[in-house]
């Protein structure tokens, strides 16, 4: 059978292969197996939001004027006619009211930006709580954290461009934080803004940062992220037939290809509907930026909210030394807190690997309950972040629920310090409880609620064993062997459950106590991770570090 | 079906040997027993099977011909819906007036039809994949993440040999001069950035207020005279003759009128005139224009981070992240009864910075 389309396909593929030798690569790509789980689509949402951002953003650049030149508005929006404003703001009004479909593109762009950052965060949670960041995927974790930071900066630069009253206030605060940096702050602020705030240059500079500089880096990093993913193959949850050495799922072509393209269209469709029916960032209501005005209840986009909240929560500390001023009230929340947060986030895989001495390859994911300390650390961090975010909206809460702002700030200040450790404890306990429950299921089976009396007079509850498939899944998740039911045997530990070997030699003193401070810290952290015995990933032996990929 | 991975003998392809044409086995209706347990790749001698499938189990999506036809119609209906939505988009674009209700109707119509079109195509594709394509379970071997040790060693040696050939270890002078030259190379780049903006000198402190300048309303530019303000009210003022607010971004000032005897600080009263005092509107914390005044207890609240200033006591901070009181502008009345500045602010206005004393 050599019909028209088939012949054309073969001719095309032959043409390419004759020049690139691509047949093997293409076939392997078509046959690439992708595991199936809903949580693996979170990264896809981020990727497709980015595609939609590029499409809508390019359209917007055709009409937007990144200029601080003062103009008198004369467009169709009656309420602002005759008002003096920057060309940036006037062209945003022009896009919204005089370009047909311009408002739609603006709103899709803004919604897509919110979805982009949101899906990156949720994707990050998935990767964190399932341990997908472990070796060999550490590099992709670092790239991912870079993408998160850049996407936040990109969003901030983007929503500042219309030069409206709301975003201008955000830029003012950013300027103040930069100005507050010791020694070089005022110089950086002056160079960035071309002089005293607000100056004439910031809009055009933010524009090139927003449409060229950061998107270029994002594009390169996303390409690297995808290529590494493609090369390393996807992780998967444990299950029957799933091992560290194989990947089980559907082939990239045609099933996955069709589904994922359908998903792209669905995301675009949902964003189009949001852009149509859910008004976002109505800059015409805020008015043009004016250094003498502010709108009450001004809120940034949600992903900047945690910074705004940190600025609100930090006490009014300021140090005066040698005729100089250090504005702790700006640089702690604006630079130090986010700096520590993102550094810890980026370093986490290395920190965990260092503590657990786990240098093995991992393709199978863990459930959050199976790694209580990591899960608890994650929940603790999210709690801290959520408190900052809540503080960013404290005036909204205060007016909605008639609370005192002062009381609210103090409650949140205390909560930011006290609540994360409490959440750590609670989460760890819940994880251990769930593990215990799973082990019960495995050794005893499901409780039926049926009570029987034995001839000896003893009462027992009838327990129904798990079906073998579920038992196998559960056992592999817990890292134990499937027990023979009915024996009520203690669970035999799976591969390498032993706690990591105590370091001896130069790092340990004669008494067996670690000698150096680093070694002592390591010991403490190790206990922290392993203190409940059944917890984290068992560490692999040091002398055989890379066993998993060598069957 | 087997859960165990099967071993495949992988061999290196020699490009000059003609590779046999792969057998075609794409057929969406292949029955499971017809499907070979292993892809034909295994039977192709001399073809690189590296990365091919170990197991490729497939079941036809539908067995019943009627169900099959129904599913096809379902997908087609979604694609037709998408087409209709695109037509709707075109009609809406051409017929609805952009001026109607600030363009909201047009936005609803364009976005609604575009969303429907995209959702129709997307949903159609997903239903197609789920209902019409064979359900498959493919298993693939994971390739090793790292190269064989000899390969790693060879690469390291190749690199180190290059270092050796270049003589970076031997030619000390060369190495140091190269580092020196590369070390100073960023300097031109830094210099090129110098003209991004002026150096921060007195621009940090000067606000545009001068001795004798009248206080004019920020919006109407009308000079303020005694009696314009009610007791307990505030007004935002600028120095007379200001070009735009944004060019005088540190100048916005709040004029407050107190009842006689309400001002608790003698200095504050002295710097004011006739129970009127003038303070910078730019918050000493992050530079937002402060705007909320509570008349009863004389609190001025910044809406950005809720710093609160006690306006009858030298604008001292009573709550929030601001560390310094607002700066006060010395004012007096001129011969015609208008408020004038007695000079620029004595203390820098707005947020703190390193050079501030």
Asked if B287 is an interface residue toward chain A (Cβ–Cβ < 8 A), one would say yes
Other beta carbons less than 10 A from residue A114's beta carbon: 19
Q: Across A81-235, where does the E strand assignment appear?
A: 84-86
The pair phi, psi for residue A507, each rounded to 5°, is -85, -10
Pairing of strands B316-319, A84-86: unpaired
Task: Provide Rg for chain B, Cα atoms.
Answer: 39
Write the CA distances from A220 to A210, A422, A510, B113, B324, integer angstroms. 15, 40, 52, 34, 45
Q: How confident is the model at residue A483 (pLDDT cuts 50, 70, 90)?
A: low
Residues A292-297: what's their mean pLDDT? Answer: 75
What pLDDT shows up at residue A514? Answer: 63
Q: Read off the pTM.
A: 0.86
Residues 102-141 of A with CB under 8 A from B: 103-104, 107-108, 136
What pLDDT shows up at residue A402? Answer: 83
Test A265 with B106 for CB contact under 8 angstroms: no
DSSP 8-state symbol, A451: E
Residues of chain A with Cβ-Cβ distance to B19 below 8 Å are: 23
CA–CA dist A480, A179 (Å, integer): 57
Residues of chain A with Cβ-Cβ distance to B246 below 8 Å are: 198, 289-291
Test A549 with B142 for CB contact under 8 angstroms: yes
Nearest CB neighbour to B126, from listed A172, A194, A259:
A259
Give the gap in angstroms from C-alpha A427 to the nearest C-alpha of chain B. 32
How does pLDDT run across B146-178, given as a tens digit for each residue?
889 999 999 999 999 999 999 988 999 999 999
What pLDDT shows up at residue A87? Answer: 95
CB pairs below 8 Å between A and B: how many? Answer: 320
How does pLDDT run across B221-271, given as a tens digit for each residue?
999 999 899 998 999 999 999 988 888 889 999 999 999 988 988 899 899
Mutate to test the interface with B, among A19, A272, A291, A473 (most CBs of B within 10 A): A291
Q: How confident is the model at residue A500 (pLDDT cuts 50, 70, 90)?
A: very low
- A389-393: which pairs have CB atoms within 8 A and are 24 or more residues apart? A389/A302, A389/A305, A389/A306, A389/A309, A390/A309, A391/A308, A391/A309, A391/A310, A391/A312, A391/A313, A391/A416, A392/A299, A392/A300, A392/A304, A392/A305, A392/A306, A392/A307, A392/A308, A392/A309, A392/A312, A393/A299, A393/A305, A393/A309
What mean pLDDT is reported for chain A? 86
Test A273 with B112 for CB contact under 8 angstroms: yes
What pLDDT shows up at residue A398? Answer: 83
Residues of chain A with Cβ-Cβ distance to B44 below 8 Å are: none
What pLDDT shows up at residue B291? Answer: 82
Residues 258-297 of A with CB under 8 A from B: 258-259, 261-273, 275-277, 289-297
Q: Can you tell me whether residue B158 is helix, strand or coil?
A: helix
pLDDT above 70 covers a percentage of chain A that reads 89
Asked if B239 is an interface residue toward chain A (Cβ–Cβ < 8 A), one would say no
What pLDDT shows up at residue A497? Answer: 41
Q: Which residues contact B71 (CB under 8 A, 6 or more apart)?
A: B61, B62, B127, B131, B132
Q: How confident is the model at residue A296 (pLDDT cuts 50, 70, 90)?
A: low
**Predicted-complex ipTM score:** 0.85
Ranges of chain B whose pLDDT falls below 70? 1-54, 62, 202-203
The pair phi, psi for residue B318, each rounded to 5°, is -110, -10
Test B144 with A243 for CB contact under 8 angstroms: no
Asked if A491 is an interface residue toward chain B (Cβ–Cβ < 8 A), one would say no
- Is pLDDT at A220 greater than 50 in this prediction? yes
Test B246 with A201 for CB contact under 8 angstroms: no
- Minimum Cα–Cα distance from B94: chain A residue: A100
Nearest CB neighbour to B111, from listed A24, A243, A275:
A275
What pLDDT shows up at residue A540? Answer: 40
């Amino acid at each position: 059978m050599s019909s028209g389309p088939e012949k054309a396909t073969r001719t095309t593929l032959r043409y390419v292969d004759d020049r690139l030798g691509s047949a093997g690569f293409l076939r392997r790509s078509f046959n690439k197996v992708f595991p199936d789980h809903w949580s693996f689509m979170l990264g896809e949402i981020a990727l497709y939001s980015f595609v939609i951002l590029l499409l809508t953003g390019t359209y917007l650049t055709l009409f937007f004027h990144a200029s601080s030149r003062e103009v008198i508005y004369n467009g169709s929006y009656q309420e602002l006619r005759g008002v003096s404003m920057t060309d940036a703001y006037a062209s945003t009004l022009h896009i919204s009211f005089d370009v047909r479909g311009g408002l739609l593109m603006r709103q899709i762009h803004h919604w897509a930006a919110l979805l982009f950052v949101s899906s990156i965060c949720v994707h990050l949670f998935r990767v964190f709580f399932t341990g997908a960041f472990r070796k060999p995927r550490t590099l992709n974790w670092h790239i991912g954290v870079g993408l998160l930071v850049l996407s936040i900066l990109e969003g901030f630069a983007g929503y500042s461009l219309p030069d409206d009253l709301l975003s201008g206030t955000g830029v003012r605060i950013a300027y103040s934080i930069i100005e507050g940096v010791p020694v070089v702050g005022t110089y950086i602020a002056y160079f960035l803004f071309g002089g005293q705030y607000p100056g004439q240059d910031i809009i055009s500079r933010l524009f090139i940062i927003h449409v060229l500089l950061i998107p270029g880096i994002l594009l390169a990093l996303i390409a690297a992220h995808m290529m590494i993913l493609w090369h390393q193959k996807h992780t998967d949850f444990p299950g029957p037939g799933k091992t560290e050495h194989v990947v089980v799922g559907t082939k990239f072509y045609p099933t996955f290809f069709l589904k994922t393209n359908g998903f792209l269209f669905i995301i675009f469709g949902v964003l189009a509907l949001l852009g149509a029916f859910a008004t976002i960032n109505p800059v015409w209501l805020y008015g043009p930026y004016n250094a003498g005005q502010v709108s009450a209840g001004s809120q940034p986009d949600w992903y900047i909210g945690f910074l705004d909240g940190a600025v609100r929560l930090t006490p009014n500390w300021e140090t005066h030394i040698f005729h100089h001023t250090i504005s702790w009230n700006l640089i702690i929340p604006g630079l130090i807190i986010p700096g520590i947060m993102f550094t810890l986030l980026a370093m986490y895989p290395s920190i965990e690997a260092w503590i657990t001495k786990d240098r093995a390859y991992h393709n199978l994911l863990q459930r959050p309950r199976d790694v209580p300390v990591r899960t608890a650390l994650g929940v603790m961090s999210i709690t801290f972040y959520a408190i900052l975010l809540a503080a960013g909206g404290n005036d909204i809460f205060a007016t909605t629920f008639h609370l005192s702002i002062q009381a609210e700030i103090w409650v949140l200040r205390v909560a930011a310090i006290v609540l994360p450790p409490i959440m750590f404890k609670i989460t760890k306990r819940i994880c251990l409880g769930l593990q215990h429950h799973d082990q019960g299921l495995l050794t005893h089976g499901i409780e039926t609620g049926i009570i029987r009396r034995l001839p000896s007079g003893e009462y027992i509850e009838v327990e129904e064993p798990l079906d073998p498939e579920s038992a196998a899944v559960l056992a592999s998740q817990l890292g134990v062997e499937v027990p023979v039911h009915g024996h009520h045997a203690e669970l035999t530990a799976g591969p390498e459950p032993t706690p990591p070997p105590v370091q001896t030699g130069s790092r340990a003193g004669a008494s067996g106590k670690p000698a150096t401070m680093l070694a002592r810290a390591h010991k403490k952290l190790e206990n922290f991770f392993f203190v409940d015995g059944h917890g984290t990933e068992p560490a692999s032996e040091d002398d055989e570090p890379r066993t998993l990929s060598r069957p | 079906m087997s859960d165990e991975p099967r071993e495949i003998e992988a061999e290196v392809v020699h490009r000059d040997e003609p590779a046999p044409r792969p057998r075609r086995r794409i057929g969406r209706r292949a029955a499971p027993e017809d499907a070979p347990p292993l892809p034909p790749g295994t039977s192709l001698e001399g073809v690189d099977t590296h990365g091919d499938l170990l197991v490729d189990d497939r079941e036809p999506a539908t067995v019943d011909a009627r169900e099959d036809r129904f599913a096809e119609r379902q997908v087609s209906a979604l694609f037709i819906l998408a087409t209709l939505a695109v037509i709707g988009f075109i009609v809406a674009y051409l017929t609805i007036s952009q001026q109607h209700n600030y363009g909201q109707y047009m936005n609803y119509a364009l976005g609604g039809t575009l969303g429907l079109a995209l959702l129709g195509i997307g949903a159609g594709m997903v239903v197609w994949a789920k209902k019409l394509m064979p359900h498959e379970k493919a298993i693939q071997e994971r390739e090793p993440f790292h190269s064989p040790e000899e390969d790693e060693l060879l690469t390291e040696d190749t690199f180190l040999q290059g270092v050796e050939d270049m003589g970076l270890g031997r030619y000390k002078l060369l190495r140091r001069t190269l580092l020196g030259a590369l070390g100073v190379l960023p300097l031109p780049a830094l210099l090129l950035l110098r003209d991004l903006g002026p150096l921060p000198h007195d621009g940090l402190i000067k606000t545009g207020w001068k001795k004798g300048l009248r206080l004019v309303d920020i919006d109407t530019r009308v000079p303020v005279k005694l009696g314009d303000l009610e007791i307990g009210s505030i007004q935002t003022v600028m120095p007379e003759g200001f070009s735009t607010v944004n060019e005088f971004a540190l100048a916005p000032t709040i004029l407050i009128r107190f009842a006689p005897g309400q001002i608790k600080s003698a200095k504050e009263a002295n710097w004011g005139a006739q129970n009127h005092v003038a303070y910078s509107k730019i918050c000493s914390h992050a530079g937002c224009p402060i705007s909320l005044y509570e008349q009863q207890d004389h609190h001025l609240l910044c809406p950005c981070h809720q710093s609160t200033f006690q306006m009858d006591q030298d604008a001292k901070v009573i709550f929030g992240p601001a560390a310094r009181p607002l700066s006060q502008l010395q004012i007096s009345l001129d011969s015609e009864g208008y408020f004038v500045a007695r000079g620029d602010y004595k203390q820098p206005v707005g947020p703190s910075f390193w050079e501030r004393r």
